[in-house]
Amino acid sequence: MKEILAQIKQYKKDSILTPVFTALEVFMEMLLPFIMAKIIDDGIEKGNMTNVYIFGGVMVAAAMVSLLSGFLAGKYAASASSGFACNLREAIYRKVQTYSFSNIDKFSTAGLVTRMTTDVTNVQNAYQMIIRIAVRAPLMLICSMAMCFAVSGSMSTIFLAAIVLLGIVLGIIVKKTMKVFTEAFKKYDDLNASIQENVSAIRVVKAYVREDFEQKKFKKASGNLYKMFVKAESLIALNNPVMMFVIYSCIMLISWLGAKNVVAGTMTTGELSSVFTYVISAMMSLMMLSMIFVMISMSTASIRRISEILKETPDLHNGENPAKDMKDGSVDFNNVSFSYKHGSGKMVLNNIDLHIKSGETIGIIGSTGCGKTSLVNLISRLYDVDEGSVCVGGKDVRDYDMEYLRDQVSVVLQKNVLFSGTILDNLRWGNENATDAACIEACEAACADEFIERFPEKYETY
């Protein structure tokens, strides 16, 4: 949680102002029924229009203050929660950039995407509710109870018993839904994985006419998510009927007892009217609290998943004094053994002893999956070896500064990837300071300039 809250940063002011204006809004709202009772008892029933105008003016002023406070609370809550989510996504993205391939393999691409989108959105919604609704609901409940007891202590016992009963029922509902939501968010990764596979391998799917199979696979993943959320929402739906039952029961009992007290002269009509208002306000605040607990239960799983990302320590890191000099391009594999999951014993490469002199051209031939790519990945230290050592220029790759090492090792990938931006933006991935002339020269050398020139925008084509 500490890592999550640290991302509030520049939105601390908005996060503080939101509950302040929310509290002011609640206090003004709680005054309205009290003022209304004064208008009825001291103005209308006594035929005193002066009191009606005075208390009416005070009521309008309180309502305007409440309205303005509510607007400002909503504005600052939106700013704080959206800014918090923005910082959180940026922190996750920055952290992922420090990961080694083994860290990414641990979480999977689909899992990382889900955490940065769905999980952050859940945390954003929960944070907005916490700084506003979680302040408003308890304050409204406490103020309603206090005002109700101030008006009529005997009538408030009904109200208090109803709150206890409602609190127990809502607590049971929230407890059950928390378990369901925790399981539901695990299904998001499966759904995103299915989408990612189909989008990235759409040519394979169509070439082998596997659309029906993939549709069934996606439908299954989507169906599992649907069932989990239907179950959770069905439990949450019990909130409303339980709430309505308790509210109307309270209204009926208060109407019956209140009418007797008004006839007996121990209670005024205005006081009875204000008690009704306070009872409904208190019940509504309990419903809001139940929804807050549900949202928090949803976000708890998301917070845990995001924390895993922010707490993860990259498997690869520089030593104390990393080298930034390389004498030549020789590559030596000294009895190298490597596995993608360290300690599993399932070696991808086993006792590789290979020595390539600087300037030599070597071809490595083998069947698919025999470890050719794994071998090459070790040269630029995309993974660390389990046993032995990989040396470039006579020095262990673990002794180099990783950025310097990867600048010295050129890689032409088997699978081409284009990033959003212009053709020039993509060309400059190899050298961000490359001039237009250097980029064009590289394309001419690769025989790519001919088709680029056919575009209307040429090298500025997006």
Do 341 and 272 sit in the same domain of this protein? Answer: no
Judged against a pLDDT cut of 80, whether residue 38 lies above it is answered with: no
Do 431 and 363 sit in the same domain of this protein? Answer: no
Q: Does residue 69 lie in a domain region?
A: yes
Q: Does residue 166 lie in a domain region?
A: yes
Could you read off the pLDDT of 297-342 as tens digits, one per residue? 677 778 888 888 888 887 777 878 888 888 888 889 999 888 887 7
Structural domain total, the chain: 3
Q: Does residue 380 lie in a domain region?
A: yes
CATH number assigned to the domain comprising residue 356: 3.40.50.300
Q: Does residue 324 lie in a domain region?
A: no
Q: For all residues of the chain together, what is the average pLDDT? A: 81
Give the chain's count of helices (H) and strands (E): 17, 4
Do 62 and 120 sit in the same domain of this protein? Answer: yes
- Secondary structure (DSSP) of 320-334: SS-B-------EEEE
Do 271 and 299 sit in the same domain of this protein? Answer: yes
The residue among 277, 311, 345 that closes a domain is: 311
Within 8 A by CB and 6+ apart from 411, the residues are 376, 380
pTM of the model: 0.67
Do 342 and 196 sit in the same domain of this protein? Answer: no
Do 165 and 295 sit in the same domain of this protein? Answer: yes
Residue 358 binned pLDDT confidence (cut-offs 50, 70, 90): confident
Q: Does residue 90 lie in a domain region?
A: yes
First to last CA, the chain: 41
Judged against a pLDDT cut of 70, whether residue 369 lies above it is answered with: yes
Q: Does residue 52 lie in a domain region?
A: yes
- Residue 350's CB is within 10 A of a number of other CB atoms, namely 13
CATH number assigned to the domain comprising residue 139: 1.20.1560.10
Q: What percent of the chain has a predicted confidence (pLDDT) above 70?
A: 95
Residue 119 binned pLDDT confidence (cut-offs 50, 70, 90): confident
Q: Does residue 282 lie in a domain region?
A: yes
Do 368 and 440 sit in the same domain of this protein? Answer: no
Do 399 and 428 sit in the same domain of this protein? Answer: no
Q: Does residue 281 lie in a domain region?
A: yes
Residue 68 binned pLDDT confidence (cut-offs 50, 70, 90): very high
Indicate the angle between helix axes 153-200 and 133-151, nearest 10 degrees: 170
Do 205 and 260 sit in the same domain of this protein? Answer: yes
Do 341 and 445 sit in the same domain of this protein? Answer: no
Do 251 and 173 sit in the same domain of this protein? Answer: yes
Q: Pairing mode, if any, of strands 395-396 and 331-338?
A: unpaired
Do 210 and 357 sit in the same domain of this protein? Answer: no
β-pair partners for 396: 391
Residue-number span of the structural domain to which 396 is assigned: 331-408
